[in-house]
Structure 1
Amino acid sequence: MSRSRGMRRTATITLLAAVGLALPGIGAAVPPPPNPSDAELNAGRATTQSMAGAVGELANRLAETESRLVGLQAQVEIKMEDANKARVDLGRAERAYDDARQAADAAGAEADGAAQQIEQQRKRLDEFAASSYRQGSQVGSITAFVGAKDPQDVLDRAVFLDAISESQLDVLDDLERARVDKANKDSLARAALHDADAKRAAADQARSAAETAEQTAITAQSSQVEQARRLEADKAGVEVQLAEARSHVAGLEAQRDRYASWQAAKQQEEAAAQAVHTGAPAVGPQPTGRSVEVVIGRALSQLGVQYAWGGGTSRGPSRGIRDGGVADTFGDYAKVGFDCSGLMLYAFAGAGIELDHYSGYQYQSGRRVPVSQMRRGDMLFWQDGGRIHHVALYLGDGRMVEAPYSGSRVRITPVRYGGLAPYAVRML
């Protein structure tokens, strides 16, 4: 063996020993890790697919329920406003009734007063007429002319008596007209009172009907809320089972990955040993091709974790930050969770891929493929006015996992095509 070949052999042995690879006669061989069978992997995947289907079905039912709930909420608000209007109308009708009653009472009192004055004046006129009759005069007492100094004085006294009689009659006519006027006003006031009473009764009936409709709408909404709550609970339970099933599959696949890595290392060891004897260069490690499922497994392991704007690191959920707007109103800064890009950051960290915590940069981070060619493990993006504002991880079969918005949780949902960017980003 030449000196240079001996030196290469010594260097190769040193390198292999440093990375923990065993050569024949150099340390103990690394035992193979567990290698799950294809049947175990297929069974786990079938269970996962079944669970995913159940989650998808529940998600669709929940979406329908929530859609109905939104409609019912609108109906409740409409019915509440109808009831508020009916209460206001009733209050107005009651005030109008009170005003009409007071006006009718006042008109009645005025009519009664006018009637009394007419009666008093009529008595005075009757007394005047009776006195005149007893004295033999149709215009007044005959004694009124006794002592007249001359014919002119008699005439003046006669004119005076006629004036008194006409004045009495004029007063009586005026009072009679006043009584008729007051009676008419009283009649109108009482008619207005009757109309106001009818309107008040109708308004009260409308209020009762509106409040009944309001209560019916609230009851329907409460029933829908309860149904949504039950569906949410059922979905959460199945999602837990799905996460466990995916975790189990991910564990089996990780075992398979480790076995493949061990096998590749063993092959490299043998190639290195052969290289020692032949002087050929050693072959570097090869990728296993299982990283997509690791990424998806990490994302699905966070199902149900609450949304927190600015939350999420390569190690898991983290406390959100203030945005000075919507997220603050939901208290995201006090929650521990993920936002959309934070979930992607955590998922891809499992495959050793470092992403920026910003969906716009994530859109520029890998190979772009048309969404018509998207496949499991690709990132999907949504844009508005050309600006990226949301990202999710595609699971296949038209479904994705995402951290959607403040007030929500990490979830599986059908892909939304409205606003979807034309390209998916493939990292693996």
Structure 2
Amino acid sequence: MRARPGRRLVAVLGSVALAGTLAVGSASAEPTIPSQDDIDDSRAAQQSTAAQIAALEVQLATNAAAADAANVEAAVAAEAYNQAAVDLEDAEQASEAAQVAADQADAAVLVASQEVARIATAAYRNGGDLQQLSMFLSADGVQDAVHGATTFDRLGGNATDALGELDAAELVADIMHERADDALAEQEAATAELEEASDAADAAAFTAQTTLETTQSERAGLINELAALRNTTAELEAERQTALEQQQRDRENAAAAAAISAPVATPAAPAAPATPAAPATPAGPSTPAPSTPAPSTPAPPATPAPPPSTPAPPATPAPTPPPAATPPPSSGAGAAALAWARTQIGKPYVYGAAGPNSYDCSGLTMRAYQNAGVNLPRTTRDQYAAVSHVPVSQMIPGDLIFYAENGRIYHVAIYAGNGMRVHAPRPGGSVELVPIWWTNVLPMAGRP
């Protein structure tokens, strides 16, 4: 049967419409090819993001270094305050002793004067004249009599001896009074120096605290920026930065320990931080905090984790020096000092304090050895000068670890064995038992 013309037209039109639809669909499915400008813009954006991330990480490291330096300066200022306090105490004792000596010299002058007067009175009663007696009793008469040969001849040998003793006593008294005046001036100068040192210590401690607070605040902002650039969360970025900072500190500490062949603490198994943490800053050498250095549970170095958008490869520990052989146990005063220092753990650091409720670093070591029957000076510098010196590689528990920068000794700790120390770290910290922070450690330890 032949199709009707109308039906053929509909079929033809339908075929044409279907072909057109297929053609349109095929055209819309064709991919858009990026231009060279698009590629260049994308690469520039990636490079800009990478540069921003690098700059932020450099700023984080710079902030941590600034906090460390501020804590060291605070420790130096605290030791200067301690030294000024010791100098004032010495000056007060010297002034007091000089005044006592001057008073004793005045008493000797009085006794000698009385003896001269007694001889003169006796001479008058035995026939002397009133003019001769008045010479001895007048203000200048004694000196005139001392130098008057005629008078000596008239009064005899006893008078000559008495006048000589009086002359000598007055000379000694003059010297003693000059020394007392000088000692008093030194005391006043020492008082002024102590006030200046106290102000400087307060200012340095304030600067360290302000620097720490500022860097912590900036750190939070920088981490938020890093999270936005890496398309992660602030919490994950904070954990990553904390791990990177700890890794850097571990490397620095291991390098410093290796440089002086020092015993190091065996690292514990790594543990990811549960919450974001501010970078530790050493104050003076303090717990990774001086002010602090090495943390109480250091994690072994790990390769920085990539952005969370890609799986993180397993951490690859960096080479670390093997733990030193366990040192021989201490005995005697060192063991007793260390044992006593451990009982003070948890008590706050206060500069210039030497117990019983708070300590600075040298105050703690002084009291520890005092309780072991050994007297140490008050300041770190004087303690270093007062002890025997042994290489830090040969330390035994109870030995003293000293820290210095640019020739300034500013911190002291007690070696507790196995790479650990007991010390009073910095303002805001407390006496603690932590791994040794080896940066700035003097190569010679002290053994009282």
TM above 0.5, yes or no, is: no
The structure having more radius of gyration, on CA atoms, is 1
Q: State TM-score, norm by structure 1.
A: 0.43
Q: State TM-score, norm by structure 2.
A: 0.41
